[in-house]
């Protein structure tokens, strides 16, 4: 075989490899936008970075079809070099101009891919000017309250709009909102728009950025180890801290994050089954996790156990049944629409029943309960896509605290990272300045970042890079001291 033939074969192999990667990127990009609905660059990069075996197993058919289609298309396109070059230019142009969303609320002014990529390499002074390392006020109050947070998967106030849906899909959660305290003015900023990102924002007072990607996963030493989070502070204050979710606790590194930040107990799908709180028959959403009815039966037992301990407790619960694209309808719930609206109606009652059960327990008078929609629902089917047409979508929230007057509505623009300081404030565990990270207590008069910057400007700043963000959130605490 002469040198010319060897070089020709090498060139063709390289050209095929490059074209295959571009084709895989094109098909994968289009699939992700169709499957998840509009997502930001931050969210897309995170899930690519943290594609674990569980996600591959759940979507194996889609991924196989993408791979097969990519190989076939690559063989067809590679026949002529000018076709290859044309395709690459068209692909770059398509992706570059694709109007990816910064958040779920600014569809009128979506930001193109290349603009988001460009902004992600720009430095922002936002963290230098506004990030506060949280500290507990000293001395600590003699009496603080137990804390229960319910992260309600994809739960929006939108579902309570009778005029839009023909009925109120969440009548029971609406009743809670009318009976207790709610905060109006939620803005869905970049870095808080999927479950783990939302929980990082609530617990640590910062958005979740793809600058964290080198510190994710079970192969790493930690998960944002430089951040001081709500659970860290509560542990300092003598709380028993418990994190529980119906899905796998390992999903996208959740177990690494909560273990890093001083949760004494971490419960997920496998732990619930192994401990006898659930069985394989209780697995609901495409084998991904335990259904909400069984999960809240566990929550009742766990909170009863915690309430009998001498120390106060912090219990974080994450629901699952209303996860896109179709959700899961528990046994005993009526299937009226045969789409995710049935799961929303069912979850509404299950969450309400748990709160009402708590209200009848002796520990209730010493407990604050927050029910928070973790993020807005992703637009992965026709019902969800209808949500994109709804103006001013807002995640659901309610604060249940006997020390606050009822009913009460707080009106101020805020983001998910303001909840951490608010929760500590409500539980009588005040931080210095009533602040946590970028967040401030919504029970105080301190203006939030959304108020100070305005939502669109703040959303863009969240895309940008920050040396302080990397230093504080990637470098272990000891190295920052």
How many distinct helices (H) and strands (E) make up the chain? 21, 10
So what's the pLDDT on residue 387? Answer: 75
For residue 264, which of 242, 235, 286 has the smallest C-alpha distance? Answer: 242
Length of the chain as a residue count: 481
pLDDT tens, residue by residue, 167-194 = 999 999 999 999 999 999 999 888 888 8
Using N-to-C axis directions, what is the helix angle for 419-426 and 195-204, rounded to 10°? 50
Q: Where are the alpha helices (DSSP H) in 239-339?
A: 254-260, 269-274, 292-307
Q: Which two tokens stand for residue 384?
A: 């969800």
For 136-140, the CB contacts below 8 A with 24+ separation are: 136/233, 136/236, 136/237, 136/429, 136/430, 136/431, 136/432, 137/430, 137/431, 137/432, 140/237, 140/429
Q: What is the pLDDT of residue 102?
A: 44
Reported as half-sphere exposure (CB side, CA atoms, 13 A), residue 194 has a value of: 23
Note the pLDDT of residue 481.
46
Place of tokens 């936002």: 126
Q: 80 CB contacts (<8 Å, ≥6 apart)?
A: none
pLDDT at residue 323 in the model: 87
The CA distance from 157 to 169, in Å, is 10
Per-residue pLDDT of the chain (481 residues; tens, 9 = 90+): 577 777 766 766 666 666 666 666 665 665 555 555 555 656 655 555 555 545 444 454 555 655 565 556 555 555 555 555 565 555 555 554 444 444 433 444 456 666 777 777 889 999 999 999 999 998 888 889 999 999 999 999 999 999 999 999 999 999 999 999 999 999 988 888 889 999 999 999 999 876 633 444 333 455 788 899 999 999 999 999 999 999 989 887 888 899 989 999 999 999 999 999 998 878 865 567 899 999 999 999 999 999 999 999 999 999 999 987 788 998 889 899 999 999 999 999 999 999 999 999 999 999 999 999 999 887 655 666 677 778 888 999 999 998 887 788 999 999 999 999 999 999 999 899 999 999 999 999 999 999 999 998 998 898 888 888 887 666 665 445 4
Q: Spell out the domains of the chain, with CATH numbers in brackets.
A: 3-98 (no CATH), 126-480 (3.40.720.10)
Structure tokens at 291: 């259904």
Amino acid 216: pLDDT: 41
Rg, the chain, Cα only = 24
Q: ω before 205 within 30° of 0 (cis)?
A: no
Cα angle 25, 378, 67 (rounded to 5 degrees) comes to 25
Q: Beginning with the edge strand found earlier in the chain, give each strand of the sheet holding 408-414 in spatial order.
A: 265-267, 240-245, 313-318, 146-152, 367-373, 397-400, 181-186, 408-414
Q: What is the reported pLDDT for 349?
A: 97
pLDDT at 229: 95
Q: What is the DSSP letter of 412?
A: E
> In this structure, what token pair is assigned to residue 133?
């390392």
pLDDT tens figures, 281-339: 788 655 678 999 999 999 999 999 999 999 999 999 999 999 877 889 988 898 999 99
The Cα 156–Cα 274 span in angstroms is 33
Could you tell me if 156 and 373 are in contact, meaning their C-beta atoms sit under 8 angstroms apart? yes
CA 441, distance to chain mean position in Å, is 20
- The pLDDT, as a whole number, for residue 453 is 95
* Cα 461 off chain centre by: 19
Which has the closest alpha carbon to 442: 467, 461, 415? 415
Q: What is residue 73's predicted lDDT score, i.e. its pLDDT?
A: 57
């Amino acid at each position: 075989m002469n040198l010319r033939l060897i070089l020709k074969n090498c060139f063709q192999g390289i050209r095929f490899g490059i074209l295959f990667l571009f084709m895989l990127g094109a098909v994968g990009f289009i699939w992700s936008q169709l499957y998840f609905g509009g997502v930001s660059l931050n969210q897309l990069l995170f899930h690519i970075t943290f594609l674990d075996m569980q996600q591959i197993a759940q979507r194996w058919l889609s991924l196989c079809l993408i791979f097969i289609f990519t190989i076939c298309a690559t063989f067809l396109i590679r026949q002529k070099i000018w076709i290859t070059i044309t395709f690459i230019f068209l692909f770059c142009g398509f992706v570059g101009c694709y109007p990816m969303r910064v958040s779920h609320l600014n569809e009128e002014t979506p930001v193109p891919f290349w603009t988001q990529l460009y902004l992600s390499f720009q430095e922002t002074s936002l963290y230098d000017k506004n990030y506060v390392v949280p500290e507990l006020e000293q001395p600590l109050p003699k009496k603080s309250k137990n804390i229960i947070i319910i992260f309600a998967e994809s739960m929006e106030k939108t579902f309570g709009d009778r005029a839009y849906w023909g009925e109120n899909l969440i009548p029971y959660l609406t009743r809670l909102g009318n009976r207790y305290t709610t905060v109006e003015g939620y803005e869905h900023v970049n870095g808080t728009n999927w479950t783990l990102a939302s929980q990082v924002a609530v617990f640590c007072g910062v958005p979740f950025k793809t600058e964290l990607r080198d510190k994710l996963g079970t192969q790493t030493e930690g998960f944002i180890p430089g951040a001081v989070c709500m659970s860290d502070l509560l542990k300092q204050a003598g709380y028993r801290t418990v994190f529980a979710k119906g899905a796998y606790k390992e999903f996208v590194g959740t177990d690494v994050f909560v273990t890093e930040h001083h949760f004494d107990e971490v419960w997920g799908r496998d732990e619930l089954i192994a401990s006898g709180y659930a069985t394989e028959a209780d697995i609901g959403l495409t084998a991904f996790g335990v259904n909400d009815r069984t999960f809240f039966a566990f929550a009742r037992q766990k909170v009863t156990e915690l309430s009998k301990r001498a120390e106060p407790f912090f219990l974080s619960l994450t629901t699952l049944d209303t996860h896109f694209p179709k959700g899961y309808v528990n046994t005993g719930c009526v299937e009226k629409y045969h789409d995710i609206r049935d799961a929303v109606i069912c979850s509404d009652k299950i969450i309400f029943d748990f709160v009402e059960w708590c209200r009848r327990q002796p520990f209730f008078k010493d407990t604050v309960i927050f029910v928070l929609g973790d993020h807005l629902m992703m637009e992965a089917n026709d019902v969800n896509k209808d949500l994109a047409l709804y103006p001013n979508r807002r995640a659901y929230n309610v604060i249940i605290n006997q020390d606050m007057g009822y009913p009460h509505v707080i009106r101020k623009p805020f983001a998910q990272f303001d909840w951490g300081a608010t929760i500590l404030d409500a539980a009588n565990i005040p931080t210095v300045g009533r602040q946590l990270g970028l967040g401030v207590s919504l029970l105080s008069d301190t203006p939030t970042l959304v108020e100070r910057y305005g939502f669109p400007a703040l959303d863009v700043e969240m895309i940008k890079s920050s040396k302080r963000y990397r230093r504080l959130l990637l470098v272990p605490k000891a190295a920052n001291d």
